Each structure stands twice: as C-alpha cells, then as structure tokens.
Structure 1
Amino acid sequence: MPSSAIVHVAVFSVGAALGAGIASGIASRKQAKTIAAPNTSSGSQTSGSAPLQFQGPLVQASKAGQGALQLIPTTPSDVLRYGNPGPISDLITRKAYVAGYDRRLRHPAWTAEHLTLASLAKSAPRGDRSQSEFKEDSNIPVPFRARLQDYFRSGYDRGHMVPAADAKISQEAMNETFILTNIAPQVGVGFNRHYWAYTEEWCRRLTSTFQDVFVFTIPLYLPKQDPDGKYRVTYEVIGNPPNVSVPTHFAKVVLGSRPSSPSTPQLAEVSLGAFVLPNAEIPDETPLTKFIVPVEAVERAAGLALFSDEIKKSSKHICQTAQCDVTVRRFDDAQRQTRKTLPAPNN
C-alpha cells in the first residue's frame, strides 16, 4: 500500500464526444459542389473570403444496384472542419480545491479537496467570509455561464460544493469558493443551512482521525419511480430564461488515510465511504449512515472514475475507522442571528 503522501486519487477523465454528419444529395465524384461559408458568431461574413468547396460527395450512387447508396470514407478532419462541438471539460484549479464544470447544467460536475489539520489550522491571516462575495466566473463563455440573476428569488440557496470553511488559508482561497463554478442550487432550510452544513463539518472533523482527508462533492440526477412503475429523472431549472439545473441529490465521497502503525509510517491505512443525500429538507435526527451507498454507485450515476479498483478493494469503510455522525445544532442559527442584530459596542 503506498504512503499517504503518494496515495493517488484517479480523478475523472472526460472524453470528448465526436459528431459526424452526412452530406445530403447524390452527385458525381467528379463534380465539385460549392457552398457558402457559415456566418460568424457576430452574424457577419468576412468580405473577400473564398467559398468553401467539397472535392467529392460523402454519398454516391452504388454501381451494385439502382437506388443503393454507398458511403464514401471520410476523416475526422473533414467531418469536423468547422470545429469539435465538445463536450468541453472545464478543469478549474483554485487555491483550496479543483473542480470540473458542467457547461450544460451550469454547475460543477464535481469538486475535489484535500483537508489536513494544517490546512484547517487557526493561523493568521485567515479568510473572512464576511469579506467574500458571490460572483460569476468570467473564464466560462457567456452562453454556458451560471449567472447571479439565475439564483435571484429562485427559492434555492447558492450552495457551496467546497465550503468556505474549508478554505480559510487565505482571503483569496475563501473568495474562490464563492465563484459560481463552485455553486449549485440547494434547498436552504433543512439542507444547505442545516444537515448538509453539518455533513461538511463532519468531513473537517475527520482530520483528527486521519492524516489526509480527500473529499469529493458531486451533484447527481437520480431517477425516481413514478406511479406507473417507470423510472424518470425530473428536475427544476432556475433562471429567466431557465439556465441552471437543480440537482436531485448530492454525493460526498470521502477517502481518509493514515499510517498503518507508528513503526511503519510509510504504509498507509486507507478508509473510504460514499454518501448520497437528497436535495431536500432532512430531519435533524437522521443518522448519516442512512445515506451510505457503494462508491461504484456514485461513479456510475455521475459517469466518473473516482478511485482505482485496488483502492476500493483494499480500503476499509470509513464508518469502521471513524465515527459517522452528524449532529445538527439549530442554536447555532440563533447565535448567528443574534450577532447580526446586536449593535456594535461603544468605544
């Protein structure tokens, strides 16, 4: 087993999907067909540009029989002469986390972070949440960007995938957790502000048990069985016009590693666990263990490869080596509200 310093977490390869079209019509190989170049994104065409020419048709009549069609071999460079349509995986690297952004859903496909006692230490200067503001990610093209106005009066919180409390190493690191490429719509009361927040706290508490804690947060869209017996995936889309999809569930997949013994610090003991929570109000007393699922179930639902088979087979379940409990403390809300309403003390 490799040491915790070199535990490799194989994170997510996203393959590009290629599309191919077939030119319509039947023509002779010897006949060159001229077509006009497509308009540019601005709607104008560059003056003086020569028209594009196909040197031969993609489909021609077959000599084998009247009316039969024969496909002419082509190449990707020919089919994709106007560009590869995607999908494009936006890999985002921040001070405290890494994320993959989903341009279709307009929220992260996944986020990954590495927590240690040192990264969460109360050392100055630390990030101050009150100094951070939500903002759009200018690195994402406008048509695929989540917008601040999408969340306005949507009924959903702007839910951090990597919580601000995990990025207190600097103000810049904390500010980066407020960029919308780290945000997804979450139910507020009973979830984002309560059960989910204390699940995030549980992840931080694991650093007292493990030397290294890797946390993956993954929005999911899971099917539900309807009264007719069929399974369907239905979800809301917020914004006007509709722009940002609302996940049905969120997964936390957590890997903890520590030296197997004081005498063999180079050998790591690895623990692994996956939890899938509905994007809905969860009763405070619900045990975290209720949401345990196989890691493979999350990988299959998300289309991601989070860990190697070797790590999954050799690791213990994290609830065997750490206490899997979430305690929701509602009085924290009252304290925060009191701090907001109390006047500043007189000097």
Structure 2
Amino acid sequence: MVKWGCRSPTITLSKSRTQCCSCVCLAAGVLFLCRSTTPRKKIQDKPFSPDKPPPPRPNLHHSRGWFTQPPSHPPLKPLNNMSKSTIAVIAAVSAGAGAAATATVLSLRPENKHTEAPQPTASSSLPSSTPIVPVPASQIFPSPGADNNIKGPAPVNPSGLFEYGFPGPVADLATRQGLISSYDRRTRNPHWVVEHITPESLSRRDGDRKHSTFLEDDSIPEKFRAKLKDYFRSGYDRGHQVPAADCKWSQTAMDETFYLSNMCPQVGEGFNRDYWAHFEDFCRRLTGTYPSVRIVTGPLYLPQKDPKDNKWYVKYEVMGNPAPNVAVPTHFYKVIFAEDGKAGGQVAVGAFVMPNAVIPNNKPLQEFEVPLEIVERASGLEFASKLPVQKRKRLCAETSCSLIIKEYADRQKAFAKK
C-alpha cells in the first residue's frame, strides 16, 4: 500500500471546490503529478583508494521504487469511466488545453545526451532484418574529486559492493520479429511493448494463431519470470499487449506474441474480449489512412482516493500459483504514432488510458484520450522526446477516433467458422 501526500498549492475551481496545482484526477483513476519544489543539496562524492578503481557501471534502465505500508482500510472500488469535465481539469491543470500544449511542454525538456534512440521513419515497408534496440550509452562511475577536508585516502569505498554484482534494476529487452519489449522484473509484466503495422503487414496471411501456444519467456531469469500456472484459474485473461492479429504476416512473428513477457492480466469479459479488442481493431484501421502506424502499449498502476481518510493509495492485486507472483495492472495505456509516409512529414499522436475493468461497448473512445504527458508522468517513461512539436498533430483531430463494434463482432464470428 502506498501513501501519497501532496503539499502543492491549490487552485479554486469553484466556490466550493479546489484542485491541487500538481495533481490530476482521472475518472478512470488518478494520476499523481506532484513535484517537490525544494532544491536538493548536492552531496560531494568522497574519494576512495586509488589503487582499486571502481568497475564500470552496466547499461541499466532506472526504475522507481515505492515505500510500502500494510493496508489499513477496506478495498477501493475501481473507477470505470472518464468524464468530459475530468478531461477539462486535466487540460487546464497539467498540460494546457489539448495535445498541442502538451507537446509544447515536452519540447522544453532537455534531451538525455547519454541515451541514443532511433528517429522514427516513415517507411511503410516491412523491415528486412531484425531492428536494433536502442540502449543507453555506457555509464562510468566518475572518480570522486579531491576533498581538502579529508586527510589521506577515504576510509570507505562503497563501490566495492559491485564486485559481488550490480543490484539493478534491470529492464529485460527482447527483440522479436514483430515487437520489441521491456520487461519489469518486479511486477512480472512488461514496462512497454512496441509494434509497427502497415497496410502490407496486415494484408499478409502467413500466420495462424491455431498453431501458436502460450509460452514462458526463458530469456528472463526463472525467479523473475511470469509462469503459465500463475494465470491458471486466476480469473484473468492472458492479455496480449501486441495483439496476435497484428502479426499475421509471419507464423514466427505471431508465435512470439504468445510469450508471457508480452502479456498482462486483463479482465476478460467486457474488456480484453470486448472493448480492448475493439480498440486494437481501431488501431489496425488507421492503416487505411496512414501508411505507417507505430504503437506503444503497457500497464499502469494508478492511485485512488480513499473516501474514509481522504488519502491516495496505490492498490492492486497480485496473483500467482502457488504464491503471489504477477501484479494485476489497474489501467492500460496505448500511445499511437500515425505517420503520413513522407520524409520529415507529420506524425499524428494519440494517447489513451483505460481501466482494467468492464467498459460498455457504447462508451466513446475519445473519453479515454489523454494528453501524452499524462501517460508519461504515470508510467515514468518518455515517448516522444525527439519528435519536434511542429511535426506533431493530434490524432483524434485528424481522424475519427471511434470504434466499430458490430463490424468487429461479425468478423470474429466469421473467423470462428474458419
């Protein structure tokens, strides 16, 4: 259980309501956006013995940890919708009115000079070889500067611990034919999974899911791995983050979508088999307008407000067999980059957050659209730091963000008869 405290100033929304200047509440959950304004005092590194320099630091991704406390209140009920008034609060408080203002905020952030990431291309053809996964540049522990207050060498050497191994955190990167994923060892779910779909890739029919089976990912250490038995009689679906239907162009590509490192526990009826499936179909239909569509999908674990003590808590189920092992996300996100196919052309960007709960099929998709910065703050990830603001467009302003429920249901029935 994680307690969230907020000391940020508030703004007046009406005579009887105030809103924290740094917090945003979604009807589908709450994204906690508080930032401390207190400057941190820089701690001077102390020198260590020069005859034993520290080893180089491995290439690792940073992951934020949480302070946990035992639960002291009854379970919170999930919030399953997102009102238009809430979207207005998000736009006014966090990122301005719409995605354009969000893009402006992101453009002011300094780029990480130690990380190399590929520029998105507008190619609509399938890759001829396995894509290269971007990894951070080597990070070396700097030698501590001289300290005139210390006589002789420092009496301690904390970096000596790394002779026994580096504790992490580690993000297990996997490069498959049709996807690239980053795995979170703590939750046994992916941080994110990236895919690329085109009209050509969706037109091929060389893969059939009846030949695919769910698999544990043996590239992940056994003690951090999600297991097939964890899902057995759990009450949750093994929810694809990159859907198998997006990888019909190759049987191998389709098979690789069935690794559990591409799965998260999802509510079945009413979500994974319904609204979420229709949302995946919406993404595929974008290739009728855009020759190249790139999608990032992943889980979120969002705080909710306890009405009893008026405090925020992060609470989620952990399932497993025989012991708890896999975290059940409270929400899921998709960030969509629809490219116009021109060199240096425009990119339509759309970000969506949905609760891991039953969603009525008549719920408008745009009620789950959020500014990109909302997803970034909630996930701790950055998706478009190298995409200039002037090249961005809001996806739902460029095309109709709506689901086709009946057509998709009929297609599923036809597929079952084959």
When the two structures are superposed, what TM-score results if normalisation uses the length of structure 1?
0.74
Structure 1 unpaired stretches of 5+: 18-61, 64-70, 260-264, 341-347
Which of 257, 272, 282 lines up with 1:177 in the alignment? Answer: 257
> What is the match of residue 379 of structure 2?
302
Deviation at 1:176, TM superposition (A): 0.5
> What is the match of residue 198 of structure 1?
278
List per-residue Cα deviations over 1:102-123 (Å, max 9, x = no partner): 1110011100011111111134
Aligned: 1:238 with 2:319? yes
List per-residue Cα deviations over 1:243-280 (Å, max 9, x = no partner): 00000000010011115xxxxx4341211010000000
Aligned: 1:335 with 2:413? yes
**Distance change (3 Å), C-alpha of 1:277 and 1:120:** same
List per-residue Cα deviations over 1:141-179 (Å, max 9, x = no partner): 110000000000000000000000001111111110011
> What is the match of residue 134 of structure 1?
214
> What is the match of residue 111 of structure 1?
193
Aligned: 1:216 with 2:334? no
Deviation at 1:212, TM superposition (A): 1.0
List per-residue Cα deviations over 1:299-328 (Å, max 9, x = no partner): 111111111264356411001111101132
Aligned: 1:252 with 2:334? yes
Contact 2:345/2:391, CA 8 A, preserved across alignment: no
Letter in 1 for 2:302: L
In structure 1, what is the Cα distance between the partners aligned to 2:323 and 2:354?
Answer: 28
> What is the match of residue 323 of structure 1?
400
Letter in 2 for 1:4: A
Contact 1:116/1:212, CA 8 A, preserved across alignment: yes
> What is the match of residue 122 of structure 2?
4
Deviation at 1:198, TM superposition (A): 0.8
Contact 2:346/2:391, CA 8 A, preserved across alignment: no
Letter in 1 for 2:122: S
List per-residue Cα deviations over 1:176-210 (Å, max 9, x = no partner): 00110001000000100000001001111111111
Letter in 1 for 2:379: A
> What is the match of residue 350 of structure 2?
273
Which of 258, 275, 283 lines up with 2:360 in the alignment? Answer: 283
Rg comparison, structure with higher value: 1
List per-residue Cα deviations over 1:198-245 (Å, max 9, x = no partner): 100111111111121010001000111110211111000111200000
Letter in 1 for 2:293: V
SS of residue matched to 1:119: helix
Structure 2 unpaired stretches of 5+: 1-118, 125-132, 140-148
> What is the match of residue 164 of structure 2?
82
When the two structures are superposed, what TM-score results if normalisation uses the length of structure 2?
0.62
- Structure possessing the higher relative contact order (Cα contacts under 8 Å, 6 or more residues apart): 2
Contact 1:16/1:86, CA 8 A, preserved across alignment: no
What are the equivalent positions in structure 2 for 1:119-130 lying under 5 Å apart?
119-123=201-205, 126-130=206-210
> What is the match of residue 143 of structure 1?
223
Higher strand share: 1
Aligned: 1:100 with 2:182? yes
Contact 1:274/1:295, CA 8 A, preserved across alignment: yes
**Distance change (3 Å), C-alpha of 1:335 and 1:269:** same
**Distance change (3 Å), C-alpha of 1:106 and 1:313:** farther
> What is the match of residue 55 of structure 1?
none
In structure 2, what is the Cα distance between the partners aligned to 1:337 and 1:268?
Answer: 37
Letter in 1 for 2:224: F
What root-mean-square deviation, in Å, do the aligned CA atoms of Structure 1 and Structure 2 show?
A: 3.0
What are the equivalent positions in structure 2 for 1:52-91 lying under 5 Å apart?
72-74=155-157, 76=159, 78-91=160-173
In structure 2, what is the Cα distance between the partners aligned to 1:291 and 1:74?
Answer: 50
**Distance change (3 Å), C-alpha of 1:312 and 1:145:** farther
Letter in 2 for 1:114: H
Letter in 2 for 1:280: A
SS of residue matched to 1:80: helix
**Distance change (3 Å), C-alpha of 1:98 and 1:338:** closer
In structure 1, what is the Cα distance between the partners aligned to 2:208 and 2:415?
Answer: 17
Deviation at 1:290, TM superposition (A): 0.2
In structure 1, what is the Cα distance between the partners aligned to 2:121 and 2:227?
Answer: 42
Contact 1:114/1:214, CA 8 A, preserved across alignment: yes
Contact 1:3/1:268, CA 8 A, preserved across alignment: no
